Amino acid sequence: MTKKWVSLFSVICTVFFLFGSSSIYAESYYAGVTKPGSQYLGMTATITTPSKLPKLGTSGESAWVTNVTPSRDWIQTGIRFYSGYPGFTTYVEHTVNGAYGMQEIGTHLLSSSVKYMVQYGSDSKWHAYIGGYDKGSWSLGTNNNVQANAETHSTNTQMGPFQFTGVQYKNTSGVWKANDTAPRADSPYHVSKTDNSNYKVY
C-alpha cells in the first residue's frame, strides 16, 4: 500500500514516492484521517469489514493504520483485498531505510471487527499489532506522522465500506487521545462520521 505523506488529500497521487506492492499503480485515493505534523507515538483503530466483498474494478484496496517518518519510511498494518484473494487478508507492511517488506498474516472475516495499532515502544522501536498481538517491530525514530485510512488505486474500485471506530493517537507524552482531526475523502469516495474518532469510508 502506498502512504500519503502529510499534505491535503489529493485526488491523484502521482508523486514518485509510491511504495511497496502499490508501486505498479500510478495513483492512489484515500479516505480517513492523516494527522498533521510528525509529533506522534502511535495510532490505533478498530476496523470493521463490510458484509460482502467489494467490487475491485481494475485495482485492489486496503484499510490500515500507519506511521510515516520524515524520511518517508513507515510501518503499516490492516487489511487488504486484491484480485485472486478469497477475502480480506491481514498484513504488516514496512519500508525501513528504503528496504520494503510485506507479511500477510491471516484472515479478517466479513462483518467483523479487529483492532489494529502501530506504536513506539519502550525498546525504541515501532511495533505493529493485530488484535492485540505484536506482529513485528522496526527502528524508525521516535515521533512520526500517523494515519488511519482506506485506500484504492482506481476510481472503479468500490471502497469497503469500512467502519473505523475508536480511532486514537498517542501524543508526545505517551498518552492515548481520541482522534481530533476530521476525516476526509478523495473524490469519488466519501466519509460519514459520528465524530472524528468514529467514521465510515465508502
Q: What is the pLDDT of residue 45?
A: 98
Cβ–Cβ contacts within 10 Å for residue 128, how many? 28
Any long-range contacts for 107-110 (C-beta under 8 Å, 24+ apart)?
A: 108/47, 108/49, 108/79, 109/49, 110/49, 110/50, 110/51, 110/52, 110/53
| CB contact set of 129 (below 8 Å; sequence gap of 6+) | 44, 77, 115, 116, 117, 118, 119, 135
Confidence tier at 1 by pLDDT (50, 70, 90):
low
Mean pLDDT of 37-65: 96
Q: What is the pLDDT of residue 58?
A: 85
Mean pLDDT of 164-193: 98
Q: Does the pLDDT value for residue 7 go beyond 50?
A: no
Distance (Å, rounded) from C-alpha 103 to C-alpha 94?
9
Q: What is the pLDDT of residue 19?
A: 34
Q: Does domain 20-184 have CATH number 3.40.50.300?
A: no
